[in-house]
């Protein structure tokens, strides 16, 4: 996967800087608290020098107590500034995390229909979650570890250089070497962290896919196969995780050795300086305090940077989503679609799927305002593609589609969808109440309007028979309802929406005769005073249409009413009709 680290950090900084006052106060508080932490050992140096001095003990005790009071006051001030950080940081982070989450949600939902068809829902959820979690982790590491580390090292170098320049430079050079080795190792390990993140995405997607299709796993005897697939994915993740952990253990060993070496060298130099009366016993305490400070910070540095890059590796998958252009998007001058009549025109439309499968070559079709048009044809002929193109699920490769003489590629997509209602073959419902699912077509609708739509769609009675009535939750994707019940809820939603253009895509193809009769009655009500497009395999559903269009290989081969087409001796429609006549038409 492409490294998007800089892009990720740029996004984080953009949203963090919206709260620049909080950022400034947090950083300033860290700087003050960290500097006080460097000043305090200077007073401990004075404290231990007093203990070894030849002055009167009573006077020494007084001075020691004074030093303790100064140390206590400094500790209190540092504590106050660290409390500023600890209370302001969550307030700041919660705002930014909320903004990032909303931004991801908004950008993700602007991707095309085909984008969601090509990506696991569970993987996309994971990417959004990890993107916001990564920000929280990175900010915490920066605030509590990285900024104090930089301030401490610079301040310690300044203080020790005042005692002995060689000692100060030695520590600074050692820190530079230590951090360089850390950085090289981190960059080396990053590719394995990215592979681990990708493996975790794969295993999450596999888990999500099998949970969604749990009935297929059971009924098609896929249990053993899916366990094997999941085990293989888990083995790959285990291997990559194992490599990452082993590299970390090796480097921790190297870090420990470098720290021991520095401590021995610095104290060797200190002994020589003490022998020459350049430093005091208190300086040994000061040096040890500073070395422990550096070691603690730097030991964490390796882990901190590795955690930051690990989080960045997790976040990069969402960054890739955010840097993927939306396939179908509004032009800058897009206007709202205004539908007064509902006339639809396909003009020389050219469309291919993935540049490999040609569907339409200069396809032309006019649907008159208020006309009820049926589209039939064999699978792959292009029927459903007509629906998808009207809804602008894909961009055209040529030509244009007009609604009331307005090119739909030049209108706002939201306004297009506002004027078109779709009742698909298999409606997908939210895991919300029946009331919420019906009202989704018109959020401002009153309860009475919902009830009237439900009655018109022949679903009011079955809703009342449920335990909670309109407050009944339907389960994920509406799984608690039968196919016919979901269809009637979708029709009720369309009735409530009352858009001027209605599309029925195989709306009754998988229903039993009783359900089909109920839905046909609801559809008759729904189709009044609208431009209607019906895509169907079952010809019994389209006999009442004003016009029937037969499509073969992306071209209109014949058109007319049911009566007109059934009279033609060589009619393709007639052949389809005769094939189905012995089944469910009577």
535-461-443 Cα angle (round to 5): 65
56: helix, strand or coil: coil
Q: Are strands 547-552 and 555-560 parallel, antiparallel or unpaired?
A: antiparallel
Give the domain-ending residue among 260, 293, 322.
Answer: 322
- Give the CATH number, domain containing residue 550: 3.40.50.300
Confidence of residue 389 (pLDDT cuts 50, 70, 90): very high
Is 50 exceeded by the pLDDT of residue 1? no
**Same domain? 363 vs 467:** no
**Same domain? 125 vs 51:** yes
Predicted local confidence at residue 198, as pLDDT: 81
544: helix, strand or coil: coil
151-155-158 Cα angle (round to 5): 150
Predicted local confidence at residue 501, as pLDDT: 93
Q: DSSP of 339-371, one letter per residue?
A: -SS--EEEEEEEEEETTTEEEEEEEEEEE-TT-
Is 50 exceeded by the pLDDT of residue 586? no
Over the stretch 466-504, which tens digit does the pLDDT of each residue have? 888 999 888 877 788 877 788 888 888 888 888 999 998
- CA–CA dist 583, 575 (Å, integer): 14
**Same domain? 141 vs 208:** yes
**Which range of residues forms the domain containing residue 471?**
426-498
Number of helices (H) and strands (E) in the chain: give both, helices first. Answer: 19, 10
With a pLDDT cut of 70, the percent of the chain lying above it is 95
Residue 191 lies in a domain: yes
Predicted local confidence at residue 585, as pLDDT: 43
DSSP tag of 143: I
Is 90 exceeded by the pLDDT of residue 365? yes
- CA–CA dist 527, 534 (Å, integer): 10
Confidence of residue 537 (pLDDT cuts 50, 70, 90): low
For the record, the structure tokens of 197 come out as: 């993140």
Residue 548 lies in a domain: yes
For the record, the structure tokens of 276 come out as: 């020459």
- Give the CATH number, domain containing residue 213: 1.20.1560.10
**Same domain? 459 vs 385:** no
Residue 394 lies in a domain: yes
Is 70 exceeded by the pLDDT of residue 90? yes
- Which neighbouring-strand residues pair with 357? 353
For the record, the structure tokens of 508 come out as: 């009754």
**Same domain? 494 vs 574:** no
Residue 523 lies in a domain: no
Count of structural domains within the chain: 3
Predicted local confidence at residue 92, as pLDDT: 95
**Same domain? 543 vs 583:** yes
Residue 330 lies in a domain: no
Average pLDDT over residues 549-567: 87
**Same domain? 212 vs 351:** no
For the record, the structure tokens of 500 come out as: 């001027």
Predicted local confidence at residue 435, as pLDDT: 92
Residue 519 lies in a domain: no
Predicted local confidence at residue 300, as pLDDT: 72
**Same domain? 260 vs 402:** no
Give the domain-ending residue among 289, 322, 355.
Answer: 322
Is 50 exceeded by the pLDDT of residue 583? no
Residue 460 lies in a domain: yes
Average pLDDT, the chain: 85
**Same domain? 96 vs 50:** yes
Residue 573 lies in a domain: yes
**Same domain? 215 vs 304:** yes
- CA–CA dist 145, 34 (Å, integer): 11
Q: 579: buried, middle or exposed (CB in 10 Å: 19+, 13-18, 0-12)? A: exposed
> pTM for this structure?
0.74
Give the domain-ending residue among 474, 498, 522.
Answer: 498
Confidence of residue 508 (pLDDT cuts 50, 70, 90): low
| Dihedral Cα 149, 155, 160, 163, nearest 10 deg | -170
**Same domain? 296 vs 381:** no
**Same domain? 139 vs 61:** yes
Average pLDDT over residues 176-185: 83
Q: DSSP of 51-99, one letter per residue?
A: HTS-S-HHHHHHHHHHHHHHHHHHHHHHHHHHHHHHHHHHHHHHHHHHH
List the 357-367 sheet strands across, edge first: 357-367, 344-353, 398-403, 406-407
């Amino acid at each position: 996967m492409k490294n998007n680290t800089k892009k990720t950090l740029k996004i984080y900084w953009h949203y963090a800087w919206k709260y620049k006052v909080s950022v400034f106060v947090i950083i300033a508080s860290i700087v003050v608290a960290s500097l006080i932490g460097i000043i305090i050992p200077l007073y401990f140096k004075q404290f231990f020098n007093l203990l070894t001095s030849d002055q009167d003990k009573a006077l020494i005790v007084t001075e020691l107590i004074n030093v303790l009071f100064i140390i206590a006051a400094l500790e209190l001030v540092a504590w106050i500034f660290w409390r500023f950080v600890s209370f302001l940081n969550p307030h700041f982070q919660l705002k930014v995390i909320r903004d990032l989450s909303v931004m991801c949600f908004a950008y993700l939902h602007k991707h095309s229909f085909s984008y969601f068809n090509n990506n696991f829902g569970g993987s996309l959820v994971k990417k959004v979650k990890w993107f916001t979690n990564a920000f929280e982790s990175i900010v915490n590491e920066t605030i509590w570890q990285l900024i104090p580390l930089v301030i401490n090292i610079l301040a310690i170098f300044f203080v020790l250089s005042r005692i002995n320049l060689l000692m100060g430079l030695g520590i600074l050079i050692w820190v530079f070497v230590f951090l360089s080795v850390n950085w090289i190792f981190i960059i080396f390990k990053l590719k394995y962290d990215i592979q681990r993140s990708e493996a975790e995405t794969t295993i999450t997607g596999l888990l999500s896919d099998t949970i969604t299709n749990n009935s297929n796993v059971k009924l098609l005897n896929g249990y053993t196969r899916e366990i094997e697939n999941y085990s293989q994915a888990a083995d790959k993740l285990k291997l990559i995780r194992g490599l990452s952990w082993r590299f970390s253990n090796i480097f921790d060993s190297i870090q420990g050795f470098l720290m021991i070496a520095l401590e021995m060298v610095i104290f060797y130099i200190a002994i020589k300086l003490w022998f020459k009366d350049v430093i005091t016993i208190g300086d040994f305490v000061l040096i040890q305090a500073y070395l422990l400070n550096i070691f603690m910070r730097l030991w964490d540095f390796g882990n901190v940077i590795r955690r930051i890059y690990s989080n960045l590796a997790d976040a990069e998958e969402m960054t890739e989503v955010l840097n993927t252009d939306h396939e179908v998007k509004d032009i800058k001058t897009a206007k709202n679609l205004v539908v007064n009549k509902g006339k639809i025109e396909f003009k020389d439309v050219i469309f291919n799927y993935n540049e490999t499968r040609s569907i339409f070559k200069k396809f032309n079709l006019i649907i008159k305002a208020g006309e009820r048009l049926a589209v039939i044809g064999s699978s792959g002929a292009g029927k459903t593609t007509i629906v998808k193109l009207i809804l602008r699920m894909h961009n055209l490769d040529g030509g244009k589609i007009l609604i009331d003489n307005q090119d739909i590629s030049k209108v706002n997509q939201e306004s297009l969808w506002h004027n078109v209602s779709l009742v698909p073959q298999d409606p997908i419902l939210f895991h919300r109440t029946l009331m919420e699912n019906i009202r989704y077509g018109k959020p401002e609708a009153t309860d009475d309007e919902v009830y009237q739509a439900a009655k018109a769609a022949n679903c009011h009675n079955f809703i009342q028979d449920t335990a909670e009535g309109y407050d009944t939750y339907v389960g994920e994707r509406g799984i608690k309802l039968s196919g016919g019940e979901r269809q009637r809820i979708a029709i009720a939603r369309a009735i409530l929406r009352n858009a001027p253009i209605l599309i029925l895509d195989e709306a009754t193809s998988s229903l039993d005769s009783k359900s089909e009769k109920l839905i046909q009655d609801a559809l008759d009500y729904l189709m009044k005073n609208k431009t209607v497009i019906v895509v169907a395999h079952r010809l019994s559903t389209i006999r009442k249409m004003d016009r029937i269009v037969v499509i073969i290989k992306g071209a209109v081969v014949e058109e007319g009413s049911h009566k007109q087409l059934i009279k033609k001796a060589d009619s393709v429609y007639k052949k389809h009709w005769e094939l189905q006549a012995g089944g469910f038409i009577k």
